[in-house]
Amino acid sequence: MNIKATILDIAMNLNRVGNWAADDYAGKKERIKTFLGNTTTYIKSLDDSSFPPSFAGTFSDFTKEYSLLEKEGLNGPQNPLFWAEDMMTWGNILTHRSQNL
């Protein structure tokens, strides 16, 4: 899979997870955990040294934030709506920024 496709898969997962959390975090917690695991695997599969400089900073910022968001998602966010919004925001940022890959 190429870099752009993997980034778009990550972005899609973030948006899915965000939507599920906003709808019913408690009821969809197991599905959310599964997709967080898949997303982490996608992130680890990428060689960020091959990113163009215009995307590298965004991805670095994302991975720092994602590690916190993942932990919060696995433990149960204090406010699922705020957490969901953060996930969807990153999904949208990655979708937009990946257009230049």
Q: Write down the pLDDT at residue 48.
A: 85
Task: Indicate whether 1 pLDDT > 90.
Answer: no
Contact 30, 21 (CB under 8 A): no
| Nearest alpha-carbon partner for 20 in 36, 35, 32, 33 | 32
Report pLDDT digits (tens) over 54-74. Answer: 999 999 999 999 999 999 999
Give the per-residue pLDDT at 100: 82
pLDDT digits (tens, 9 = 90+) for 92-101: 999 999 998 8
Measured CA to CA, the distance from residue 24 to residue 47 in angstroms comes to 34
Query: What mean pLDDT, rounded, does the chain reach?
Result: 96
**Of the candidates 40, 35, 43, 38, which has an alpha carbon nearest to the alpha carbon of residue 17?**
35
Model pTM score: 0.95
Quote the CA–CA distance of 16 and 8 in Å, as a whole number: 12
Provide the sign of the torsion angle of the four alpha carbons 40, 65, 25, 98, taken in this order: negative
